[in-house]
Amino acid sequence: MRILFHEELTFISDQLVAMSRLSGRALERATTALLEADLALAEQVISEDEQIDAIRRDLESRAIDVLARQQPVATDLRQLVTALRMSSDLERAGDLARHVAKLARMRYPEVAVPEHMREVFTRMSPLAQEMIVRAGEIVAAQDADGAVELQLRDDAMDRYHREVFRLVLEADPQVETQVAIDTTLLSRYLERFADHAVSVAIRVVFLVTGTWHDELVPSTGAGPVHRAEP
């Protein structure tokens, strides 16, 4: 019985890794679609998001099935419940990649990101992609130390987020208001994407140590990070 249960957990862990890769790839393509005004690629990201959602639904059904058949003990239950929360984070990361693709589609054939802001997005998005893929690896390896390291990388995301606001506010000549709106939302999507990566990874600390490290728990959204913030 317990061997079966652990096979199930391994399967679920593999699916979480798959979700992390799919959402990382979705963000990569969405960013290319955004910066190159590639409509076909944007459409592809939007339609393929359903794959990630389907894995999440399947994981939930399997988890309920395992719970009903195998009467797992408390530690195993915590693993299952935590895996479900991770899958919600990863599904949501996929949704955010889709939002980037939708914005690319909405502005087509124009490019939503002005020339002087391309660089920050070409750094911010790959970092977010790396973070989600790394979160998947951390889940697979139950690597609590890796989770703590990953959280530190989120500081770089917050710096990019502030940098976007700085570039919008200090542009000379002033950016169009539409550009300010679009880049504010894009930066917010990327920042939240990385938050979900941290959230997935930090849940591994919980599983491995059995306690929450409150100081490590992400605030699930840094919220407004503006130039005016200290």
Query: Footprint of its own copies on this chain (CB under 8 A)?
Result: 57, 60, 63-65, 67-68, 71-74, 77-78, 81, 84-85, 88, 91-92, 95-96, 98-99, 102-103, 106-107, 165, 168-169, 174-175, 177-178, 180-182, 184-185, 188, 212, 219-221, 223-224, 226, 228-229
**Least distance in angstroms from the C-beta of 16 to its own copies:** 16
Closest separation in Å from C-beta 121 to its own copies: 15
- Pick 135 or 193: Cβ nearer its own copies: 193
Beta-sheet strands, E only, within 51-147 = none
Distances (CA, A) of 73 to 51, 174, 207: 31, 60, 14
What proportions of the chain, in percent to the nearest 5, are helix, strand and coil? 85, 0, 15
User: Omega into 173 within 30° of 0, i.e. cis?
Assistant: yes
**Signed CA dihedral, 140, 144, 150, 155: sign only:** positive
CB of 51 to its own copies, least distance (A): 15
Determine how many CB atoms are found less than 10 A away from the CB of residue 148.
16
Considering the complex, state which of residue 146 and residue 202 has its C-beta at the smaller distance from its own copies.
Answer: 202
Q: Closer to its own copies at the Cβ: 112 or 131?
A: 112
Closer residue to its own copies, CB minimum distance, 154 or 182: 182
Q: CB of 62: closest distance to its own copies in angstroms?
A: 11
- Tell me whether residue 14 or residue 50 sits nearer to its own copies (CB atom): 50
Tell me whether the omega of the peptide bond preceding residue 109 falls within 30 degrees of 0, making it cis.
yes
Tokens of 16: 């979480």
- What's the rounded Cα separation, in Å, for the pair 111 and 113? 6
Smallest separation, CB 134 to its own copies (Å): 23
